[in-house]
Structure 1
């Protein structure tokens, strides 16, 4: 047992008063002989023992009454690290800052209710108590105050708490809160979690959350402040995707954008409005409205906009009309090109039909019209090709290129093979984000390719080449559509089953799939042999066809119905890898390998929605000095991407165009399930019933009542009441009074 006011025990010394009175008022008499008293004396002696017993019982009751009163005033309680109304408390406030906290229950958001509740709890803390404030979604961060004993600073920190674009996970906040509480010196510890109590936040790491709460229960007083109404069903739609129907976005075109919206709530949503912007400018004058979306279903709308400028463009989609704003936006970096420049390294066949040229089918798939008849059209077309002989290709030819095709090109032939300087430069080209497509043929030798492209400093082969496998024309190799990974670059051609069946081959290279090269098979033949493979090299990628891309080994590229879309998807995929920055999810690490040396680097954070593209309102944060390991390039990284929007990493003081741009989207796991956990379910999950208080007008009173439940004062006072009643009854029975 502990005493919260031990000095009050000095009041127990008042017990000497009834003792003194007892002895002071004892009967005094002088012996006086009197004959009749002889008979009375005998009667008195018979009752003297009873009278003495009554007096001693009254004395004990009156002394015990004074002792109980003193102990009650001393406020006894359980001896524990939990708060029981101690003189000082180490309190830790944990705010749920996931974006569901921005949902409204009535006229106020859940976060606003959490702030009001936190201020109310702050007022209940005894003087000289400490308080630390944390923000927590799927990670925890200390917000302040600078001095844990400064109430004014704590109030300012509470008012400054903002939601993020992260999803809920209570474990990091509980872990850091317990550490912070134990760093204090007060005998009592309190941890308050201000949250809408989203069920997914407790279930993501259920076992670890239960263990941590049990640990907190043994060391501190854990209180959950429910800041939302668990009975209220929040309407919500999320933007899950936006696609450009144009495979390769390029300037001077109008492109359809297909936006997918999903109802993740429990109620139908009506009248949702969808808008789309490109670099802060609306791509369509009118907003498209979706009249009705049932729970758990998707809806698609199409908006069309013009692509006027080349480069990395920021595409932003917005919806309006639901109860949670945090997932009402989706950003995407779109690489808009003025030209896509492709280098074809192949052998022409002199004196043969044009279709026998090693690059003829690829050129037709890249530029699908007659260049001789439509010379004006080819000048305006966005794909430019240049063909060069393998022995004549030079490193300078890679300047300004986006993709390189090696079509049945010799590797190390001293007369007709590619120069070693070009191969070295080609490896650098791919690592920097360029695309490489390799097609085989009679001039490709497995040993030569393995030596030239498979060595460690080049690494451009997904797998080492083995021998060529032949098959009769009657039983050719057939691409197996079912073997295509839908998420790969060839995923879009998977539905073209009939066209794939016609893309037969009579010769293919066997690949050594056991080699740990980091390669991946994208498509196999019906016999299970790898037909198309890929390997990511640095920022770029290599796509390898185990057969030829002309008609010498088969019909892989001779059917335009398959060749044109497949080539388009490959070019779109490979050029997309060269888009600087990219699309990320809130909380992801943003990294950049700058091409220049700078005295420092800054993170440019998102501008507020509705601000003009040229408004200089975007805040900048200085990043820590980047470091590079021996033999590695300098890399600048930051995980300060907690809010959805446009980010950029730039040299200190430089304009945004000198750096790299990222699009950061909300973590959609937050709104996959918006249900709040009930008190009963939380008890089952944790194995005990924690304190749960609803944020509102009665928060302060509930906290005070909760804090005094550990005291025994009311029991001592109740015992005192019964004792006084008993004493009065006994005194009346004995005829004794004070």
Structure 2
């Protein structure tokens, strides 16, 4: 038990008053001898014993009445209540700022209801109480106030709250809230969580959330303020993806854009509108309308647009007609090419058959038509190839190139006139690190030890080469479609299983997959006997793809099966050139990493305006970034300040806000909402919260009765009213007993 006003227990000392009066009146007379009393002494003694008993009972009742009165004034309560009355409280407010809080329940959004409830609770805090405010989605952020006693600043902070594009996770907010409450000096602690009670917020780290809530329960009052209606469903459709039906987007073409929508709500949606913008310009004049999307179902919309300019282009899909705008936009950065320039390093044609040239099959896959017969078409085609012999490959050949193929190219050893020059290898390593793509194919001219020493020493081999494996005519090596990862560059080849099975191979290099040798390498495709066939390694901003077999017909049919070679080469080029698109597409909350061209320059991050502030004001908030840190010998800038979906830019401090994606103005990229927030829309009921946490915390509905509910919650732990009620019964009993004793006498 705890006492809210323990000093009032001093009033219990008044119990000595009736005791003193009792003994005073008892000593007020003195006995006198009187002869007739001898005759009635016997009767008096019997009556005296009865009177003494009645007086002692009356004395006890009056003393107990004084004790109960003092106890009532001391305001007793349960020790676990930890709050109550007018004593100071250390309060911590945690606001759910995930974008589901932007949904409307009636005339107000859930966040607006949270703000109103918080301001009402602020007014109930006793004098000398403190308050600390945190925002929380999948991370917690302390907002203030600077001085915890400053309620005016706390009100301003509450009114300035904005939703983010993050998903719900209660653990970070609860963890920081408990730590903040424990820094206070008041014995009473209260933690309020203002949220729409998304079930995913409890389930994302359920075990840890449950343990943290139990810890808070033992040290403070944990109260959830429900800011949404658990019985009301939110109609919502999310844009999950937008795809170009063109492997390598290039200028002077019209391409279809396929937009994928998903109804994440629990009701059928009709009349959803879809708009697609390319660099801020609508692809089609009018918004396309989707007649109906069933609950939980997906739908696709196809729009066609022109790609006029080369460079990184920004796609933005916007939908309307649902009840939650937080995931109604989806961004994607695409690299539109004017030309893709490919350098092929291979032995030139020197025989009777043109297919003997080491680059013949790759050139046909890159330019899938007869270039000699259609000169006009080759001039318009967007892929340009240049072939060079290994010993003639100089650093200047890499200028303006996007991808390099080493096709059975020997490296220079003893003969200074044969193989790749060391200067070219050094420049090639720099080319890949700066975002270029490198594809290596094997053959008879490839010597494993020399490749390991030269290319491996330059960091251009995903895995060290071992011995060559030779197949028999009856058991050739075959690529295994089942070994391809869906998300890899070869993922689109999985449907071409029949053509992969036709790509039989007679010779394949062994690759060392040991942990010590693999490092950050990945095996993207294997043979049916589970040996590595294609491996990759990221080198700086570029990537190396290594084929353990030849890319001509000397070791197999990997490139001579046209139905396989053309799509495979197209996806390889698309994948490698996409790495040169600066910035890119991220998800809200991702950490951004950038190697600045000038580490001595001070940079700042230009952010989009908050979700609820899409006004005509074009200015955007800026945040100064810290100094670049050394990572693997390079200066790297990082920031995780990406909580709002939209366009971002990293520019030198004071530089103008770039319009669109302008790599020359600094790093530009886009951030999409974290769709885990609305993947399964549904608020947890009080019963479900009890099941998830193992106990039922106080849950108060935000609204007109929030303030009175909080006050009632604080006083519910007191026993004062029960003590007063007991005192009333005691006084009534004392009066009745006194009347009875008087009547009896």
- TM-score, normalised with respect to structure 1: 0.94
* Shift in Å, 1:324: 2.3
Q: For the residues of structure 2 that align with 1:571 and 1:640, how far apart are their CA atoms? A: 33
- Residue aligned with 2:267, SS: coil
Match of 2:506 in 1: 506
The residue number in structure 1 matching 2:462 is 462
The superposition leaves residues 378-410 of structure 1 with CA deviations (integer Å, 9 ceiling, x where unpaired) of 222221111112111111211211100111211
| More displaced 10-residue stretch of structure 1: 512-521 or 12-21 | 12-21
What are the within-5 Å matches in structure 2 for residues 211-250 of structure 1?
A: 211-250=211-250
State the Cα distance separating 1:12 from its structure 2 match: 3.9
Match of 2:621 in 1: 619
Greater displacement, 354-363 / 617-626: 354-363
2:95 is the alignment partner of 1:95: yes
- Equivalent residue number for residue 380 of structure 1: 380
- Conserved? CA contact 1:284–1:305, under 8 Å: yes
Provide the secondary structure at the position in 2 that maps to 1:670.
Answer: coil
Matches within 5 A, 1:724-735: 724-735=731-742
* Partner-residue secondary structure (3-state), 2:479: coil
Cα distance, 1:464 vs structure 2: 2.1
In 2, Cα distance between the equivalents of 1:30 and 1:97?
A: 84
Segments of structure 2 that go 5 or more residues without pairing to the other structure are none
Could you tell me how far 1:130 is from its partner in structure 2? 0.2
Indicate how the Cα distance of structure 1 residues 308 and 614 shifts in structure 2: closer, same or farther if over 3 A, else same.
farther
Question: Which residue is equivalent to 1:641?
Answer: 642
Q: What do the CA deviations read for 1:443-478 (whole angstroms, capped 9, x no partner)?
A: 2222222221122xx121222223333345565433
Asked if 2 retains the 8 angstrom alpha-carbon contact of 1:81 and 1:189, the reply is no
Question: How many residues are paired up?
Answer: 734
Give the equivalent residue in structure 2 for 1:689: 696
Question: Contact 2:81 / 2:717 at 8 angstroms: preserved in 1?
Answer: no
2:734 and 2:80 mapped to 1: Cα distance?
A: 35
Q: Distance in 1 between matches of 2:82 and 2:296?
A: 44
Structure 2 counterpart of 1:447, from 446, 449, 456: 449
Equivalent residue of 1:735, what SS?
A: helix
Would you say the 8 A contact 1:259–1:300 is kept in 2?
yes
Pairing 1:293-304 to 2, within 5 Å after superposition: 293-304=293-304
What is the alpha-carbon distance in structure 2 between the residues aligned to residue 149 and residue 191 of structure 1? Answer: 16
Deviation at 1:351, TM superposition (A): 5.0
Structure 1's 31 and 603: CA in aligned 2 closer, same or farther, altered over 3 A?
closer
1-structure distance, mates of 2:512, 2:30: 126
In the alignment, what sits opposite 1:667? Answer: 674
**In the alignment, structure 1 residue 718 sits paired with structure 2 residue 730:** no
Q: Is residue 652 from structure 1 mapped to residue 667 from structure 2 by the alignment?
A: no
Q: How far did residue 220 of structure 1 move?
A: 0.9
Match of 2:685 among 646, 660, 678: 678
Contact 1:280 1:613 (8 Å CA) reproduced: no
**1:517 CA drift (Å):** 4.4
Residues in 2 aligned to 1:314 and 1:489: alpha-carbon distance in whole angstroms:
22
Is 1:266 paired with 2:273?
Answer: no
Q: Distance in 2 between matches of 1:612 and 1:724?
A: 68
Q: Is it true that 1:573 corresponds to 2:580 in the alignment?
A: no
**Cross-structure match for 1:552:** 554
CA deviation string 1:530-556 (max 9, x = no partner) = 332222222211112222222333332
Contact 1:91 1:191 (C-alpha < 8 Å) held by counterparts? yes
SS in 2 for 1:276: strand
Unmatched 5+ stretches in structure 1 = none
Q: Which residues of 2 match residues 397-408 of structure 1 at below 5 A?
A: 397-408=397-408
Residues of 2 paired with 1:459 and 1:385: CA distance? 25
Q: 2:437 matched to which residue of 1?
A: 435
How large is the RMSD of aligned CA atoms in angstroms?
Answer: 2.5
- Contact 2:480/2:526 (<8 A) preserved: yes
Distance 2:566 2:615 in 1: 38
Give, in angstroms, the shift of residue 55 of structure 1.
Answer: 2.5
CA distance in 2: counterparts of 1:146 and 1:518, whole angstroms: 45
Cα distance, 1:34 vs. partner?
A: 7.6
Contact 2:210 2:694 in 1 (8 A): yes
Asked if the contact 1:598–1:651 (Cα under 8 Å) also holds between the matched residues in 2, the reply is no
Distance 2:59 2:616 in 1: 90
Q: What TM-score results when the alignment is normalised by the length of structure 2?
A: 0.93
The correspondence of residues 105-124 of structure 1 with structure 2, limited to 5 A, is: 105-124=105-124
